[in-house]
Structure 1
Amino acid sequence: MSQDIYIDASAHVSDGAKIGQGTKVWINSQIRENVSIGENCIISKDVYIDAGVSIGNGCKIQNSVSVYQGVTIGNDVFVGPNVSFTNDKVPRAFNSDWQITETIVENGASLGANATIVCGIKIGEYAMVAAGSVVTKDVPPYTLVVGNPARIIAKIDKAGNKVS
């Protein structure tokens, strides 16, 4: 497999972004300044990655995801289509005291399609967020959460299988 970086002609990647070997950036994606993306990642169609975001190695960021300032994504993380991250606890168009609130997604986590990740939380290693869930508090490692608000329904292994 080639270790070349691929950037689609329709994508816009800031000169200040760092992209690892083997990473592919697809149609209409935008990667802002001071972004760091690891090796062998897939940045799918219509993805927006805001300034200063860090994404580890081996991640898959699916179609139409916006990853805003303050989000840090570890290695081997799956972010499903249309996942929404927030970065402001009190969003207002006119807030002069605006502060970014950090969110951390640890290694191996999986975020299902259309999940909403409210800022200021940590999603633990190999945790799984079910499609459509609204995550409002920390998700412990090796757990499956579902619903609105998301709640733990099972302990899981690295592969996402339920364990006793």
Structure 2
Amino acid sequence: MIKRLCFWLRADRLGPDIPITHLMLYFPALMRMICSKRFNGFGEGSEFRPGAYADNCSSITIGKNVAVRPGTMLFAEKGDGVPGRIIIEDDVLLGPGIHFYCPNHSYKDASRPIPEQGYFYKGDIVVRRGAWIGAKSVILSGVEIGEHAVVGAGSIVTKSVEPFTVVAGNPARLIKRLR
């Protein structure tokens, strides 16, 4: 039991499999303390809600006034345990169930099973200030979502999104410019 408790307190992740995450719902001060220690940065007024999951927290930066909602998953690694980065700037609005993936499976060799081919990594994921990402969207490696950009719910974002634009779909495409 002590071994397990030590793991929960030291793990570089937060989520439903880490019981202390559930306590954060009832004790906001505990949530702030845990997130400030686990994440690379955790801004004032931000929340990490129970039901969200973050792996490699030390490679994730969350700006001010950001709520990471239930069902959201942040995977900040390049693959095989090598850290990538996820940076979410100030005043970003995140819907529930968004998935951020820094690594992606390699699939170039058709003669080998995909799980045996390792991973590829295009770059960090950056969400600029004031952006809004709709529920159940997927953000892939190397994507930058521009300032005040909007990503429609359920979108699969494979390429960077320009500032002040609206994108949606699979793959996400330009819907309109806000300026």
The two structures share one fold, judged by TM-score above 0.5: yes
Pair 1:50 & 2:74 matched: no
Find 1:72's aligned residue among 60, 67, 87.
87
- Superposed CA offset, 1:97-128 (max 9, x none): 76583111111111100001111110000100
- Report the Cα offset of residue 88 of structure 1: 1.2
Distance (Å, rounded) in 1 between the aligned partners of 2:172 and 2:120: 26
User: 1:131 matched to which residue of 2?
Assistant: 153
- Greater percentage in helix: 2
Any unmatched runs of 5+ in structure 1? Answer: 1-11, 18-24, 157-162
- Report the Cα offset of residue 89 of structure 1: 3.3
Is the CA contact 2:121–2:141 (under 8 Å) kept in the aligned structure 1? no
Find 2:96's aligned residue among 58, 61, 81.
81
The one-letter amino acid of 1:134's match is I
Distance (Å, rounded) in 2 between the aligned partners of 1:41 and 1:62: 11
Percent identity (aligned) = 29
Give the match's secondary structure for 1:101: coil
In the TM superposition, what are the counterparts of 1:139-150 in structure 2 within 5 Å?
A: 139-150=161-172
Find 1:102's aligned residue among 115, 118, 124.
124
Larger Rg: 2
- Report the Cα offset of residue 132 of structure 1: 0.4
Judged with a 3 Å threshold, the aligned counterparts in structure 2 of structure 1 residues 16 and 114 are, in CA distance, closer, same or farther, namely closer
Distance (Å, rounded) in 1 between the aligned partners of 2:142 and 2:64: 23
User: 2:176 matched to which residue of 1?
Assistant: 154
The one-letter amino acid of 1:26's match is L
User: 2:45 matched to which residue of 1?
Assistant: 40
Distance (Å, rounded) in 2 between the aligned partners of 1:97 and 1:141: 29
Q: Cα RMSD over matched residues? A: 3.0
Any unmatched runs of 5+ in structure 2? Answer: 1-7, 14-23, 77-84, 107-113
Distance (Å, rounded) in 1 between the aligned partners of 2:122 and 2:10: 21
Distance (Å, rounded) in 1 between the aligned partners of 2:98 and 2:41: 20
User: 2:133 matched to which residue of 1?
Assistant: 111
